[in-house]
Amino acid sequence: MVAGLVSCAVGPDFKKPEVPKIDSFTRETPDSQGGQANAIEADWWRAYGSPQLSELVDLALKNNPNIDAAIANLKIAQQNVIAQQGFFFPQIGAGYVASRQNVGATLAPAINGTASVYGLQTAALSVGFTPDIFGGNRRQVESLKAIANAQQLQLDALRITIATNVIATAVQEAVYREQLQMAKESVEAARIQLGHSQKMAQLGYISGIDLANQESGYAQMAAQVPALKKLREQTLDMLAVLCGQAPNKQLLLPNLDSIHIPEKLPSALPSTLVEQRPDVKIAEELVRASNAQIGVAISNMIPQFSITGVLGGSATAFSEMFNGANNIWGVAGGVGQPLFAGGSLFARKAAAEAGLEASLAQYRSTVITAFQNVADTLYAIDSDGKLYQLARDSEIANEKVYEKTKIQFEKGYTSEPSLLSVKQQYLQAKINAIQAYSVYIGDTAALYQSLGGGWRDESKADMASGAQSSAKPASSFSSK
**C-alpha span between 182 and 225 (Å, rounded):** 9
Dist CA 336 CA 303 (whole Å): 5
Which segments within 58-153 are labelled E, that is strand? 91-102, 117-129
H-type alpha helices, 243-263: none
The verdict on pTM exceeding 0.85 is: no
Helix (H) or strand (E) holding 330: strand 327-336
Collect all residues with Cβ–Cβ distance below 8 Å to 60 and sequence separation of at least 6. Answer: 162, 163, 166, 242, 243, 244
Q: Are 241 and 166 in contact (CB under 8 A)?
A: no
> Which of 165, 267, 172, 264 minimizes the C-alpha distance to 475?
264
Q: Are 364 and 283 in contact (CB under 8 A)?
A: no
What is the per-residue pLDDT for 255? 94
The answer to whether the beta carbons of residues 469 and 381 sit under 8 Å apart is: yes
User: Which H helix or E strand runs over 349?
Assistant: helix 344-410
Topology, domain 16-91+136-303+350-468: Outer membrane efflux proteins (OEP) (1.20.1600)
Alpha-carbon span 478 to 425, nearest angstrom: 18
In sequence order, what are the residues at sequence separation of 6 or more whose Cβ sits closer than 8 angstroms to the Cβ of residue 457?
37, 38, 39, 272
| Contact criterion met (CB below 8 Å) for 451 and 273 | yes
156 Cβ neighbours under 8 A, 6+ residues apart: 278, 453
Residue 430 phi, psi dihedral angles, 5° rounding = -70, -40
Q: Where are the domains of the chain?
A: 16-91+136-303+350-468
Q: What is the pLDDT of residue 478?
A: 56
- Across the strands, what pairs with 267? 38, 468
For 283-313, give the DSSP string.
HHHHHHHHHHHHHHHHHTTS-EEEEEEEEEE
Q: Do residues 217 and 190 lie in contact, with contact meaning Cβ atoms separated by under 8 Å?
A: yes
* Cβ neighbours of 250 (radius 10 Å): 8
CB atoms within 10 A of CB 376: 15
Residue by residue, pLDDT tens for the chain (480 residues) are: 444 444 578 999 999 998 877 777 766 655 445 445 567 888 999 999 999 999 999 999 999 999 999 999 999 999 999 999 999 999 999 988 888 877 665 555 555 555 567 778 888 999 999 999 999 999 999 999 999 999 999 999 999 999 999 999 999 999 999 999 989 988 888 888 888 888 888 888 778 887 888 888 889 888 989 999 999 999 999 999 999 999 988 999 999 999 999 888 887 777 777 788 999 999 999 999 999 999 999 999 999 999 999 988 888 877 787 787 788 889 999 998 988 888 999 999 999 999 999 999 999 999 999 999 999 999 999 999 999 999 999 999 999 999 999 899 888 888 877 888 888 899 999 999 999 999 999 999 999 999 988 654 433 333 323 334 433 455 555 544
